[in-house]
Structure 1
Amino acid sequence: MRLVTRYADWVIGHPKTLWAVILITSLLALWPSVSPRPGAAHIPLQDLEITNASTGDELFLPDRADSFLVIRSPDLFAPDTIKAIRNLVASAETLPSIHSLFWIEDIPPLNMFGLPPAWLPEDTADKSEYQEARERVLKHPLIYGQLVSPDATTLLIPVRYNWMKIGHDEDCTDNLIQNCQTSVAEFPGANIDISLTGRVPLFLAAQKAFRTNHQKFQIISYVLVFFIATALFRDFATILIVGAVPAISMFWTSGALQWLSIQSNDLTSVVLPVLITMVGLTDGVHLIVVFRKHWKGNYSRLKALHQSISRVGVACLLTSITTAVGFGSLILARSTPIKDFGLACSVGVLVTFVAVLTIIPALAISSLGKYVSHSSINRRPIEIKQFHRLLDFILSHFRTISILSALLTILCITVSLSLKPDARTINALPADSPATLALKHCNQSMGGIDFVKVTGEFPTSSTQTDVHLLEVIRKIEDFLSGEPLLRHPLSIQSLLDSLGRKSPTDSMDYVELLSPSIRNILLNQARNQIQIYIRTQDLGAAVYTPVFARLKEKLKGLQDEYSGLQLTLSGIPLKSSKDVSLIVYDLVASLGTASIIILLVMVIFYRSWRIGLVTIIPNLFPLALTGALLVATDQNLAIVSVCALAVCIGIAVDDSIHFLTRFRQEVAKGIDIESAIRNTFFGVGGALVITTLILISGFSTLLISPLPTHRMFSMMACVTIGGALIGDLLFLPALLKWLIRKPSDILGKRSMG
């Protein structure tokens, strides 16, 4: 309180120094852009990173393709279609950016003599030979379910890039697609659709959406500020003063993030501009409304500014601290993107607070401030004076409403506990992206483009060991046949089956007949090691976690059955499944820490433990309501959910702070508790409704984002902010009437004395 009042004294007495502080801060924010600092970079929110981990000279590595050409045709084995694909492959391999393509005709022979197989007929062959080739190809384990879909309408061509020749993103995507389409166009009779998916195209699609959204939502935020300020104030000077805060806040925050080398990610780059705009606008509206109100009275312009800073600055300081705490709690997360998001938003909120208490006073003192309309204040767009009956009902039934609010909160929390952690690659991608659509198609037609890998190894080598390895493979594949989400397993046994060797006792003799380029991928006899590749779809960790758990249990049982056998399960889908389990830890740690710190801040600031108790239900209810809504809409707990809930706990408490600060001021006037509640309800209720609508309108702009993560964040933020208004205008008055019995319960004995 006294600190804010002293600051107000300094602002009024040293306007030139204030402008000097603003100028120096702006120069510091500009400096990293003029002289870029290393270390700050954009990183994806999801696990879409590009890796170039391929080693060795193997021709076929199912889990290491940089991307996949997805060829769709009603009849892949029609003569014109095969000719067109041959031409496509030959043309694409001439591109400098392409290291290699792998397709049906690159399949090595299933014999040690290296005789080239005739998987597909020559161009001059008749149509019957193409149909025979279709039947022959679909029996091959390296083709069926791996390169060609079971219905023979989709062909996957794994692509590896020559990274030394990549100059632009388009070399990996658009240029390759254009080359393929041009080569196919030479065969008008071929009915072919070409698309591209895989780690690289998906990563680039996410990056492109990020760049587009970053610019688009900054523009939307600024336009929204202009329209909201115009609707509220309708005079140019006030609109300019209020609108300057979000713009300068974003500029200062951008510089601060670069100075601190805080990395950006998809969520930060889109949510942060909207967050800063809305927080800066709502705090600015509170300050400028009080300034105009006092100036309209008997105060001069400078005295009115002093009073507005003293009265509103305290609430703005406390709301900024609690909001920053909500974001800052994310540093406890184990995920680097979540930590960076929390740090970036914490910095943004605190910088915005500084901007509100420097930019608005500086402009109000300047010549521009003379033109702020104050002779007649426009009626608030939303009046709540007609809610006298509602408030009478709340105060007459305060015990019943208080108990019901607690029960409703507990019910929502109970429902929220059924949320399952989840992560899907597709949720980090624009829904209409060609790479995303191709991925969805591959999920349905091929069983996905991701793999998990089972690796088995015996410590000693013997003939019996070889037999055991094949027995283990057979038992694993028998288990996989009962798991519909684990598709098309590929192992050394798959190749032996194609040779008609199903018995483990004599099959190893035929392994030597296989081409080393195939055999060494699936069987390392020198190390007594086997590998089984299994396709998985992008259905999310929530779906696959129990599937992987059953597979691990099966592998553990086989280890117990065969002495010395070591079986391990690996792959990106498994890693995602493990990482997503950390979401629960992150959520509990973040929300728990934020709640405790915010509660302590409230108790210390108001010097009343009763205030701490009063704020629990109104501030917990919005979060519980949001969690229950996720369950009701069949959503899971994703990374963005953790971020959104941590954000919302800081924002939700803001309305409570404004309500309680005004309530404390009313009680200090010496009136009874019920009268203080009434004055507070009608004094700040309208402002709370307005700021809630501003926040919801701001965050709802993210609903037009093509990225599901942004839309989910928007939905959760809007529900939480709306729930906070219910908690503060319905539950909080009832709880105050019940728990605050006398003025000393909120003012403290020292204040009363």
Structure 2
Amino acid sequence: MPPSENENAAGRPGLATRLFYGWADRPILQVIVVVVMSTIALIGYIQPSLILDWVTPPVSQTEPAAETHRRSQPKPKNVSRQASRVKPFQVAGGECVLVARSDGFFTEAGLTAMRHVTEQLQALPQVSSVLWLDDIPDFNVFGLSGTLLPSSHASPRQMQTARDEVLRNPLAVGQLISSDGKTLLLHLQLDWFFVTDDAAATTEIREQAERAAAQIAGADIDVQLTGPVPLHLMTVENHVVNSRQYQLLGYSIMLLSALFLFRGFAAVLLVAVAPAMGVFWTMGVLHFFDLQDNPFNDIIVPILISLVGLTDAVHLMVEIRSQRAAGLSVRDATRRGLARVGLACLLTSLTTAIGFFSLSFAHHEIVQDFGWCCVLGVAMTLISVLTVIPLGCRSPLGRRLHVGIGNSLIDGQLKRIDPLIAWVLRHDRAVAAAAIISTTILAIIALNLQPDEKRYSGLSESAEAAQALRHLDQSLGGLEFGFVSVNWSEQADDGELLQVLNDVDETLRQEPLIGHPLGLHQLIAALPGDGDAAERMTLLELLPPPLKRAFYQPEGRFASVQFRVQDLGIAAYGDVFSRIESRLGGVMQQHPNFSLSLEGDAPWRWRNVYRIVTDLATSLGTASIVIWLVLTLVYRSIRIGLISIVPNLFPLAATGAMLMLSGQHLELVTVCVFTICIGIAVDDTIHFLTRYQEERRIGGDHEDVIRRAFTGVGSALLMTTIVLVAGMLTAVFADARDARLFGIMGCLTLTTALFADLVLLPALLSRFSGAGATDNRRNTARV
């Protein structure tokens, strides 16, 4: 029997080997670990307070205000303490937005139906108020009196006249009705005391509107519900549904693939149970930290740690089966397999955890939590793999572990790859040069990725709220609002203010992606009368206080102009916001007594989206350096550490270049996937290098050493890649764009990582490891 990879010069097992031998020989301790971890996880699922209350005393907490809500509102400067108690009139801001579409709103049937819909919605206990066109008064010289809409029984001529007036009214067009008059918005505020379940804020409202519209003969009106509340609830529901559906589908495909590849039920069962147990422990423990509802944690974390765990489980099981087929007893095969693969599993978990730990330094809280959860999951999965598989091998299942070995699809086809390895080793200089050059070129392309962020990119495109959102993007310019805040000094007069507001309006209207600017200047322009700006500002007194204070607060010398923003992503608005800020700077130069600023959630994301790039660079840069140091120390070779850079970087560079060439951007989901990629890529490299170092200790020609290393781990590498790609393919067919992107990037990374480890890494080892020359010198010295 060849010596162990950790034996010393005297032939005694090394420290790592003795530790793994000791762990393999203690099944009782393994049972205790499984029972304790499972019990803790069960408590986390059922009632985590049993442990939390015992560990930490309860403390009072106050709920902070939502940061996104603060960013989405214009902020006046120098606001007086004697601010008016008048509530500003708002033409938007509903918690739920009912989107009604019809070609005949300005008909008797259309107006009757919409008024009936409004009455029926207000009759719902969970709806506190409804704002729509009928709530906007008309303009006249006496102020605001009457309403925009005519009587439902008005003549066709009166209907057409009313339609024209509505589409000229700045409070209506682009705010509550589309420019073509075919889309109406109803903004609903909820009474949360009566919202007892999700349906009360979504389907019950939409169904009530549908029933009301259907009761009016001749009215052909389609309604959909969107807005902040439905979109949030849909996001939560998608996570719950997807976390169950795609996990179940993915695990099923991975199980079937493993069964097909291993051709042995006992081996497949143990390989599947080990990572599944790690997922169970991780998701249970997350409840103690209240992190289970993170949008990445409930879907990506279980799949991710199952992938990492499955990789180590397959490598460990392949080695144990090989030892079992060689004639060793179950006990000796388990000890031998754990000693030979355990260190590699420990290293893969360590390096993967390093990659995820780097996410904890990100600026985005979701990314931070995701990184910590992955670190916890990787640790839990390592414990599960090193515990469940040895324990399972001691069970009756261990007697049939070797059944099917040599008959699997991979075992039968692995020898056919030998000519490829031989060709690579014969042309190691050319292959190594190609590896370095291609990795460099792909990395340069990937570095040109532009940052982007969409608020609702993770939504299911077939869902009602998402479809209504996309319709609002096209018909009214979007659901989200941005603002231009205007502040002025005491030296400015009202006439100059109106000129500045008109300049701001002109600046915004020059951009096609900016929808329907609205401010005080438009309200004044809608009033009758002529004159210059100073004279027009005298008409300000005709506006009632609620409407005037919507865009103008004289005591704080503050005004604002709002505009709509589509959910196209910050990348689409980057140049738009840059041009707007540049033009606003020109306005301030012409009017030095005024200060203009672009505000709102969308501009805030535009200014801070560079942090995504910073997070990625910091994460991958730090993780890559630390991983290189770990591999250099473990393998005690700077040369091996440098060689490992190319196969580890190649999958990331290839995936990033694919995103760049396909017109994608660097988003939150891609940042997380890149970090996942480095963990997966390093895992296969570590298993190959560990076997390579072991074969070098055994001795022989350097090319034979590389071939033996390939034979030893090639089967496991191919198995894990096929199984993992099959599992991640389920996300490619998801309805949500983020899930599809995650699946595509994951599959591409896995396949390129396999190519790098089976083709590029052998050539780099053959060319740059220096082992061949060293072996030749040793053989000469011995002679």
TM (normalized to structure 1)? 0.94
- The answer for the alignment partner of 2:17 in structure 1 is 5
Partner of 2:510: 482
SS at match of 1:146: coil
TM-fit CA distance, 1:241: 2.1
State the shift of 1:114 in Å. 5.9
- 1:400 paired to 2:430: yes
Question: Structure 1 residues 482 and 12 mapped into 2: Cα distance closer, same or farther (>3 Å)?
Answer: closer
Q: Which moved more, 1:322-331 or 1:682-691?
A: 682-691
What SS is found at the alignment partner of 1:160?
A: strand
Alignment check: 8 A CA contact 2:309 2:382 kept: yes
How far apart are residue 259 of structure 1 and its match? 3.4
User: Is 1:28 aligned to 2:40, yes or no?
Assistant: yes
Is 2:138–2:146's contact at 8 Å kept on the other side of the alignment?
yes
How many angstroms apart in 1 are the aligned matches of 2:764 and 2:72?
60
Partner of 1:563: 592
Q: 1:135 to 1:544 in 2, by over 3 A?
A: same
In the TM superposition, what are the counterparts of 1:579-594 in structure 2 within 5 Å? Answer: 579-594=608-623
Quote the offset at 1:194 in angstroms. Answer: 0.5
Partner of 2:263: 234
Distance (whole Å) between structure 2 residues aligned to residue 63 and residue 644 of structure 1: 37
| Equivalent residue, structure 2, for 1:450 | 480
Matched, 1:491 2:519: yes
After TM superposition, the structure 1 stretch with the greater mean CA deviation from structure 2, 431-440 or 515-524, is: 515-524
Q: Check whether the contact 2:37–2:281 (CA below 8 A) recurs between aligned residues.
A: yes
1:90 matches 2:119: yes
Structure 1 vs Structure 2 CA RMSD: 2.7
Tell me which residue corresponds to 2:223.
194
TM-score, length of structure 2 as denominator length: 0.90
Q: Distance in 1 between matches of 2:404 and 2:596?
A: 81
SS at 2:220 equivalent: coil
Whether contact under 8 Å (1:195, 1:435) holds in the other structure is yes
Give the letter aligned to residue 391 of structure 1. Answer: I
Aligned to 1:336: 365
Q: Aligned partners of 1:47 and 1:735: how far apart in 2?
A: 50
Instruction: Choose 531-540 or 360-369, whichever is displaced more.
Output: 360-369
- One-letter amino acid of the counterpart of residue 525, structure 2: D
- 1:428 counterpart = 2:458: yes
Answer yes or no: is the 8 Å Cα contact 2:121–2:208 preserved in 1.
yes
Q: Aligned pair 1:215/2:257, yes or no?
A: no
- The aligned amino acid for 2:599 is S
Matches of 1:497 and 1:228, distance apart in 2? 69
Aligned to 2:718: 689
Query: Contact 1:48–1:203 (CA<8 Å) still a contact in 2?
Result: no
Q: Which residue of 2 aligns with 1:64?
A: 93
Distance 2:534 2:270 in 1: 85
Q: 1:268 to 1:12 in 2, by over 3 A?
A: closer
The equivalent of 1:417 in structure 2 is: 447
- Whole-angstrom CA distance in 2 between matches of 1:376 and 1:301: 15
Aligned to 1:159: 188
| 2:490 pairs with 1:466 | no
Contact between 1:454 and 1:568, CA under 8 Å: does it hold in 2?
yes
Aligned mates of 1:423, 1:363 — CA distance in 2: 46
Selected match of 2:672 from 629, 635, 643: 643
CA–CA separation in structure 2 for the residues paired with 1:153 and 1:380: 60
Report the Cα offset of residue 226 of structure 1: 2.9
Distance 1:142 1:190 in 2: 25
SS at match of 1:125: coil
1:409-448 Cα shifts (integer Å, max 9, x gaps): 1111121122111111231211101111111111111111
C-alpha displacement at 1:204, in angstroms? 1.1
Structure 2 unaligned spans of 5+ = 1-5, 7-13, 53-57, 75-83
Distance change in 2, residues 1:502/1:707 (3 Å):
farther
Alpha-carbon distance, 1:154 to partner: 0.7
Aligned length: 744
Distance 1:49 1:165, change over 3 A: farther
Counterpart CA distance in 2 for 1:324 and 1:735 is 26
Matched to 1:684, the amino acid is V
Q: Which residue of 1 aligns with 2:278?
A: 249
| Counterpart contact for 2:126–2:190, Cα < 8 Å | yes
Change (3 A) 1:139 1:34: closer
Counterpart of 1:259 in 2: which secondary structure? helix
Q: 1:524-562: CA deviations, max 9, x gaps?
A: 223332111111111110011221121112222222332
Distance in 2, Cα, partners of 1:120 & 1:12: 81
Report the Cα distance in structure 2 between the residues aligned to 1:21 and 1:449, rounded to whole angstroms: 52
In the alignment, which residue of structure 2 is the partner of 1:677? 706
1:178-206 CA distance string (max 9 Å, x none): 11111111112011110111211111111
Contact 2:71-2:604 within 8 A present in 1 as well: no
The CA deviation at 1:297 is 2.0
Percent of residue pairs identical: 36
State the one-letter code of the partner of 1:277. S
Query: Aligned partners of 1:182 and 1:626: how far apart in 2?
Result: 50
Letter aligned with residue 289 of structure 1: V
Decide whether the 8 Å contact of 1:8 with 1:306 is kept in 2.
yes
- Assess, with a 3 A threshold, how the Cα gap between structure 1 residues 376 and 456 changes in structure 2: closer, same or farther: closer
Alignment check: 8 A CA contact 1:424 1:538 kept: yes
Q: For residues 528 and 280 of structure 1, do their structure 2 counterparts lie closer, same or farther at Cα, with a shift above 3 Å needed?
A: closer
1:474–1:5 CA distance, 2 compared to 1 (3 A): same
